[in-house]
Amino acid sequence: MRIIITGAESSGKSTIAEHLGRQFHLPYALEYARFYLEEKGPEYDLELLIRLSRLHLKYQRAEVDPEVPIGIFDTDMINYKIWAEEVFGHCPGQIFEAVEQESSHVYLLCKPDLPWEADLLRESPNDREILYQRHLSEVKRLNRPYVIVAGDGFQRLANAEAALESLMSLHTGRL
């Protein structure tokens, strides 16, 4: 099972992914595009976005052994799909196909109820609710399990822990 922390920009995804990995002693992978763009600069085009999506998958496999039963990931290919559609008006076929292949994914969907934290890579301070709804719609379209995570500070982390436990119990059949 791959537990994906997803949602709009500045919704606490990286903080939650790292916290849950440490709290539950699970392997985790943070968002690859952030590492790459912080190092190389924030400019990108569609060709680079496609390349980043491939590098993202490679990075995730290096950080979380595909053979481990449970891993935590800060975003997945849904993020690249929505990113391509929002910025370039369409999703390239290879990204769309990669989304469809991620069938073992379950989601913690972060509500954009935290204050916006600007940085050089974040682009959409006024579109967070729209992006959140796009993520929710995509997860529903794929008919994948999800739990919404909301709240601030320690409460958000506690809510994420409870959401993770809920998804893990669904996976193991313990309800």
- Residue 54 is predicted with a pLDDT of 97
CA distance 144 to 65: 22
Angle between helices 93-101 and 46-63 (to 10 degrees): 30
In tens digits, the chain (175 residues) has pLDDT values of: 999 999 988 888 999 999 999 999 999 999 999 899 989 988 999 999 999 999 999 999 999 999 999 999 999 999 999 999 999 999 999 999 999 999 899 999 999 997 767 666 656 767 889 999 999 999 999 999 999 999 999 999 999 999 999 998 876 654 3
- Residue 127 is predicted with a pLDDT of 84
Is the domain covering 2-172 a CATH 3.40.50.720 domain?
Answer: no
For tokens 């370039």, name the residue: 88
Q: For the chain, how far is it from start to end, CA to CA, in angstroms?
A: 17
CA distance 77 to 75: 7
- Residue 174 is predicted with a pLDDT of 41
- Residue 138 is predicted with a pLDDT of 96
